[in-house]
Amino acid sequence: MNAHVRPLWVAIAVTAMAAIVAIVLSSIALSERQSTSSTTSRMPASGAYLNGSSDRPHFDLVLSELGGGRLRGAVDFSYQDGQTSLVFTFQGTSQALRTGATTGFLTLTPLRVPSDTSSELLSPPPSAISATYGAGQVNLGECDTYLVVTTLSNCRFSLSNTSAP
């Protein structure tokens, strides 16, 4: 190999190695960003979720996210005149909605069922209620088996813009 060509090949080899190192480092950084973003999660928003129009009788699911996957809340019945009755309170846990997922999962444990409303609005609730959430909605699993007002026991609750917990 002639003396003038050899430095050119060395320069090409060094440049190629530098490019390979840059590609590998970029690939590692991108992989770390993707794995970090895939573990970021969204919990259900705290607030009042309604299963009907606010100007008609409906059930409210009031949810407070406590952090660490814990939550608490209540299910109330709202009458047409604006009066409300507590149906039951609950505590629960949530499985976070991961980036890219459309549904997260909740497990609610009913705590207090007032005796004055239990016969009118509620059959004995299960010991654990499974629910899903996503996109401003909570779906209570099989709520039509324990919420007595069957015409109003739509199990899909939508986050209200006007109500706060």
Q: What is the mean pLDDT of each run of 10 residues along the chain (165 residues)?
A: 60 58 56 44 83 88 92 92 90 82 90 71 87 91 82 82 56
Residues 6+ apart with CB under 8 A from 140: 61, 108, 129, 131, 155, 157
Measured CA to CA, the distance from residue 58 to residue 77 in angstroms comes to 6
Reported as type and span, the H/E element at residue 58 is: strand 58-67
- What pTM value is reported for the model? 0.69
Q: Any idea where the domains of the chain sit in the sequence?
A: 5-39, 47-159
Q: Which of 100, 102, 156 is nearest to 134 (CA)?
A: 102
